Amino acid sequence: MIVYGWTGIEVKALRSAMQLSIEEFARRVEVSSRAVDGWESAGAAASLRPSSKRQLDKVLAGASDAVTARFANLLGAAPIDHDEVDCSSPVPVTLANDTLGHATVMGADEADLVWVPARTAAGEVILVSLPRRTVIAGIGVSALALAAGVKPAAVLANSPEIDRLDHFHKLRLSLIESDNLYGAGDVIPLVEQSIERIGQLRRAGFGDPAGMQRMRVLYAEFAAWLHQDCRNWDRAQHWTDRGLTWSHQLGDPYSIAAVLTRKAQIANDMGDGAEARELAEAADRAAPPGTRFGAVAYTFAGQGSALMGDEAGSEIAFDRARHLAEDVDADPSWGFFLDHAYIDAHQAQGRVAMGDYRGAIDQFGQAINSMRSGQTRDQAVYIARQAVAYVRAGEAEAAAKLASTVIDIGVSTGSERILHNVRTVNSMLDPGSRQPEIVEFRAAAQKWSLT
């Protein structure tokens, strides 16, 4: 596969495909971590030195088939092997040019279209309208990259027929569903491109300024979540910092509370209980009345207190979260995910931090058994965390058995919230054990290089 023009978008896609941190990737490319972070932050506007481009070409040329496939998928332009056509390959998409100069998918319901960027064989970036179900299905724009006869798209801002806020709203919902199905890696590039595009539209004076800024905050919070799932802490914090700045510029308590809540959860995942509790308390203060922000904030404050070893404070916060969660009059537009299972899972994680492994095991079980259907990845996260509680409690066989059940989900979605815990279990097991559950688990972990 050949990259004709390296930008921050391609750099980010290659690093994600190689499943490396910024520091690890920088060493492979023989540049500084600051350079990689700068390229990725600049996105399509990044300017790379010729020597850096040559080094990136070298790294890509030496990449495995799996990395190349992931890289192509992230860019939405999978290479085609003409010698061996896979019968499972996506059906080529038929394109036509509409009156605005955009590429459209024939036969799609106009009301169910979302616009996504695609790069033609000539290197031109065009806007392509795809059925929402296509984006969710993960087909992306792989069949569009080599489409012939497609004219460069008019700038999105020059299309008065497009409701920009509705476009980004629909696209965000599609990307959330795609993330739930396939993981964050495939979604991050398009989310970050969308943030950049929203900013360009605002600077050009198109669309409602407040509405576009609020949408940009939502995308920044979503980007932070995706990086959080990948344990890319620098990038997660980058987007929450940007989102918080934009929220204050907007002067919107709703947006401020949403970003502060995300920052609190990230701090908990990083093991900084004091920071998490302070951020959660700030989110609760900022939250407009009649919302569910308070319940979520107290959930993260409870976990933060547990990380600090404050058992009494943790219990009080979780009790408060449950009380607030039962408010039937609260605005359901945010925090729909909050229920007693969600609170139980976070309290159980707090018990692990305080060394109450048996209490954590029981509460994780309670949370997992009462989860709503369709939460496959989150359920796998809680099972993986329960497995850690088992291994810390000295019940190695039970830990290995549980961890074995979530490896496939972790690998297929790339969720480090799952895989990090699987690695923890693996590191704490006796490598010389001949217990069947442990042998089976270690074989699966070795197969997927999780050792």
- pLDDT value for 439: 97
Q: Are residues 387 and 431 in the same domain?
A: yes
Residue whose C-alpha is closest to residue 225's, from 255, 184, 197 = 184
Any domain includes 51: yes
- pLDDT value for 368: 97
Is residue 6 classed as helix, strand or coil in its secondary structure? coil
All residues at 6 or more sequence positions from 422 whose CB lies less than 8 Å from its CB, including other chains: 384, 387, 403, 406, 407, 410, 445, 450
The amino acid that residue 416 corresponds to is E
Indicate yes or no: pTM above 0.85: no
Is residue 113 classed as helix, strand or coil in its secondary structure? strand
CATH of the domain at 12: 1.10.260
Return d(Cα 12, Cα 36) in angstroms, integer.
8
Q: Are residues 273 and 145 in the same domain?
A: no
Question: Is the pLDDT at 332 greater than 80, yes or no?
Answer: no
Any domain includes 87: no
Q: How confident is the model at residue 71 (pLDDT cuts 50, 70, 90)?
A: confident
Show which of 103, 127, 158 is a domain's final residue.
158
Q: Are residues 418 and 288 in the same domain?
A: yes
Question: Is the pLDDT at 323 greater than 60, yes or no?
Answer: yes
- pLDDT value for 115: 53
Place of tokens 């941190």: 21
Any domain includes 1: no
| pLDDT tens track for 116-168 | 555 544 444 444 555 555 554 543 433 333 333 333 333 444 555 567 888 89
Q: Are residues 235 and 287 in the same domain?
A: yes
Q: Are residues 243 and 335 in the same domain?
A: yes
Other CB atoms within 10 A of residue 290 CB: 11
Q: Are residues 289 and 322 in the same domain?
A: yes
Return d(Cα 434, Cα 149) in angstroms, integer.
62
What value, to the nearest 5°, has the Cα angle with vertex 77 and ends 75 and 82?
Answer: 150
- pLDDT value for 423: 97
Return d(Cα 330, Cα 327) in angstroms, integer.
6
| pLDDT tens track for 351-360 | 999 999 999 9
Q: Bigger pLDDT: 129 or 443?
A: 443
H or E element at residue 262: helix 253-269
Q: Are residues 51 and 129 in the same domain?
A: no
Residue whose C-alpha is closest to residue 389's, from 421, 430, 431, 341 = 421
Q: Are residues 151 and 186 in the same domain?
A: no
418-446 core/surface letters (b: 16 or more CB in 10 A; e: else)? bbbbbbbbbeebeeeeeeebbeebbebbe
User: How many domains does one find in the chain?
Assistant: 3
All residues at 6 or more sequence positions from 12 whose CB lies less than 8 Å from its CB, including other chains: 39, 40, 188, 189, 192
Question: Is the pLDDT at 287 greater than 50, yes or no?
Answer: yes
**Token code pair at residue 121:** 């064989």
Q: Are residues 327 and 369 in the same domain?
A: yes
Q: Are residues 258 and 355 in the same domain?
A: yes
Q: Bigger pLDDT: 215 or 206?
A: 215
Q: Are residues 308 and 443 in the same domain?
A: yes
CATH of the domain at 267: 1.25.40.10
Is residue 129 classed as helix, strand or coil in its secondary structure? strand
CA atoms within 13 A on the CB side of 312: 0
- pLDDT value for 130: 56
Any domain includes 81: no
Q: Nearest 5°: phi and psi at 128?
A: -120, 130
Any domain includes 13: yes
Domain that holds residue 43: 8-75
Q: Are residues 59 and 196 in the same domain?
A: no
Any domain includes 163: no
Is residue 116 classed as helix, strand or coil in its secondary structure? strand
Residue whose C-alpha is closest to residue 117's, from 105, 99, 103, 97 = 103
